[in-house]
Amino acid sequence: MAKGTIVHNEFYRFDDPYTGRSLTRLTAPEQVNHHPYFYYKMVTNDNRYLIYASDREDGRQLYRMDLQDGTAVQLTDGEGIHDFNSSLTSDDRYLIYCRGQQIARMDMSSLEEEVLYESPAGWRSNANPGLGSDDRFLVLVEMNEKDVVPSKGDWSVFEPQWAAKPHCRIVYLDMQQRTSCIVHEELNCWLGHPQIRPGDPDTILFCHEGPGHLIDARLWLVQKDGSRLRCAKPQTHDELITHEYWLADGSRFAYVYRHKDDLHHESIRLMDPETLEEEVWMNCSKYCHFISNSEHTRIVGDGQLPEQHFIYLVDVQARREEKLVSHGTSWKTYGNNQDAHPHPAFAPDGSFIIFTSDMEGIPCIYKVDLE
């Protein structure tokens, strides 16, 4: 199959057996399908099109699906596509995605593409770039090639990669000027999840990656000129902090915190990036991932424990959590360690949620209407 090929997805609507709420399966359980990582923009502003990845005869490629009738156009072809790491720009004009060691940009009208950046020899991109809210700046992490632990497509690489104490650096890219600079570099630490603060392209949130009980501290901030490097929240090995993200207005960033002595619950917390003042917002179920809608009036999270097999919806003002639907996923790997992770995400207007699950045997994409 080639770029521009049209495929057809047949929608299947059914009621969740636990909550009774209606949901729609967007892709058939015939090949692995999933949407991008949860904090990327994957749905167009008119709520009509979804960016997703599908593993068909020519491997994993990116597609754009019409959410009205299931018709989808293949956007990429060839090797090296990073299937989780793609994001629409805020105006939907471009798709930013990763191919091998390159950051590329595709014009969504013509499907013409151009390379914006390529990691130099001796360095590997972690293919998890963070796009700024102004669509001009992008930040990514590179790892020294000699420190890369080969992946088998599952979680067996996670602790060995941390234990390798890799040489990593944060690279800041100006996509308009086509210039880049190294913001921060650490010789013996795995860096990950770089994210530019919305409305403030000078501030970068990133993490020390690795098993939660082994890393020194997860949350870190730095300015694009390398100044004001600061640990946002010190932690002990009894504490786990994970899957941080910026609120859409850039006022604070959110994360979940849990202690090893509480196996079934965690708390949603918010932090001011200037004062580092932390607010414990509410207790919640044990989420693997979570994110707010654009107004931060609702939060969606995916329960991680066997008995918490739900997509949870949080009313932020009321500080109340409810079970939306069962995601029923197995969390298995299918060539990529996150293939069956739900990664729930809101539509731009918050009217529906997209998530992935292998509840029917193979990872498929599901849609839940909220309005």
331 within a domain of the structure (yes/no)? yes
**pLDDT (0 to 100) of residue 264:** 81
10 within a domain of the structure (yes/no)? yes
4 within a domain of the structure (yes/no)? yes
**pLDDT (0 to 100) of residue 162:** 97
189 within a domain of the structure (yes/no)? no
278 within a domain of the structure (yes/no)? no
Which domain, by its residues, includes 369?
1-97+105-112+327-371
CATH of the domain at 86: 2.130.10.10
**pLDDT (0 to 100) of residue 364:** 98
Q: Rounded to two decimals, what is the model's pTM?
A: 0.97
**pLDDT (0 to 100) of residue 197:** 98
Please give, one letter per residue, the 3-state secondary structure of the chain.
CCCCCEEECCCEEEECCCCCCEEEECCCCCCCEECCCCCCCCECCCCCEEEEEEEECCEEEEEEEECCCCEEEECCCCCCEEEEEEEECCCCCEEEEEECCEEEEEECCCCCEEEEEECCCCEEECCCCEECCCCCEEEEEEEEHHHCCCCCCCHHHHHHHHHCCCCEEEEEEECCCCEEEEEEEECCCCEEEEEEECCEEEEEEEEECCCCCCCCCCEEEEECCCCCCEECCCCCCCEEEEEEEECCCCCCEEEEEEECCCCCEEEEEEECCCCCCEEEEEEEECEEEEEECCCCCEEEEEECCCCCCEEEEEECCCCEEEEEEECCCCCCCCCCCCCCCCCCEECCCCCEEEEEECCCCCCEEEEEECC
**pLDDT (0 to 100) of residue 265:** 85
73 within a domain of the structure (yes/no)? yes
126 within a domain of the structure (yes/no)? no
50 within a domain of the structure (yes/no)? yes
**pLDDT (0 to 100) of residue 148:** 97
Number of folded domains that form the chain: 1
Tens of each residue's pLDDT in the chain, 371 residues: 799 999 999 999 999 999 999 999 999 999 999 999 999 999 999 999 999 999 998 899 999 999 999 999 999 999 999 999 999 999 999 999 999 999 999 999 999 999 999 999 999 998 789 999 999 999 999 999 999 999 988 999 999 999 999 999 999 999 999 999 999 999 999 999 999 999 999 999 999 999 998 999 999 999 999 999 999 999 999 999 999 999 999 999 999 999 988 878 899 999 999 999 999 999 999 999 999 999 999 999 999 999 999 999 999 999 999 999 999 999 999 999 999 999 999 999 999 999 999 999 999 999 999 97
**pLDDT (0 to 100) of residue 26:** 98
